Chain A
Amino acid sequence: QSALTQPASVSGSPGQSITISCTGTTSDIGSYNLVSWYQQHPGKAPKLMIYEGSKRPSGVPYRFSGSKSGNTASLTISGLQAEDEADYSCCSYAGSGTWVFGGGTKVTVL
């Protein structure tokens, strides 16, 4: 069970759109449409932003969206805002009651 692969950092200017990729294998992302995404500000607990690949919990802004193609999931932030600067981690169900996370991506708002 290996960690999912995310870019270390992504940056964008306010108002722009950015996309964070999350690459897994046929044993996790490729087999299940069960990817979730978490936002984490420094010193804070992770917060659920996307589940089941593309669903937003109540209260999460519409500018956050998720998708999947093959073994890769993606999180897109449209209309980037200053408060979106944080670390983002993907997670996938990997079968047999186990989960695997990505290494995290630091988003910087320029």
Chain B
Amino acid sequence: QVQLQESGPGLVKPSETLSLTCSVSGASISSYYWTWIRQPPGKGLEWVGYISFSGATSYNPSLLTRVAISVDTSKNQFSMKLYSVTSADTAIYYCARLVRSNSQHFDQWGQGTLVTVSS
């Protein structure tokens, strides 16, 4: 059974960098695509970006200049950095597995972690 677990600070100051890690168990990170999705309190889901098993990335155009996703195959983890955060980046951040090939959907999700941007 695939399990994903997000970890990272719950509070980040404005203008600083938000850093999160997703630990994957039950599946090899080298065999799939992995993604970050966020949800501001009381609002809808927003796709942030993904990384492939080979390290290729794609990001939401609205976040392109501020986000970076990386993978550490030795630890079976992938991570996200969001730079120069503002209060608009306050959200629950989910990591998820992305199924590609002929399909494009997110089949396994972490429980999510709330990150608040505040001084």
Contacts and interface: CB of A to CB of B under 8 A. Distances in A.
B104 A101 contact: no
Interface in A17-57: 32, 34, 36, 38, 44-48, 51-52, 57
How many B residues are at the interface, by size bracket? 20 to 34
B16 interface: no
A98 B60 contact: yes
A96 interface: yes
Given A46-B94, A46-B109, A96-B58, A103 B44 contact: yes
A79 B65 CA distance: 46
Interface stretch (B18-26, B45-53, B74-82): B45-53
Given A34-B104, A99-B104, A45 B44 contact: no
A51 B50 contact: no
Contacts, number: 64
A65 interface: no
B62 interface: yes
Given A45-B111, A97-B50, A97-B58, A103 B106 contact: no
A89 B44 contact: yes
Closest 10 CB pairs of A and B: A97-B58, A36-B105, A93-B104, A103-B44, A51-B105, A45-B109, A101-B45, A99-B47, A104-B44, A34-B104
Interface of B: 37, 43-47, 50, 58, 60-62, 94, 99, 102-107, 109-112
Given A3-B46, A45-B111, A45-B112, 9 more contacts: A1-B60, A36-B104, A36-B105, A45-B110, A52-B102, A89-B44, A93-B104, A102-B44, A104-B44
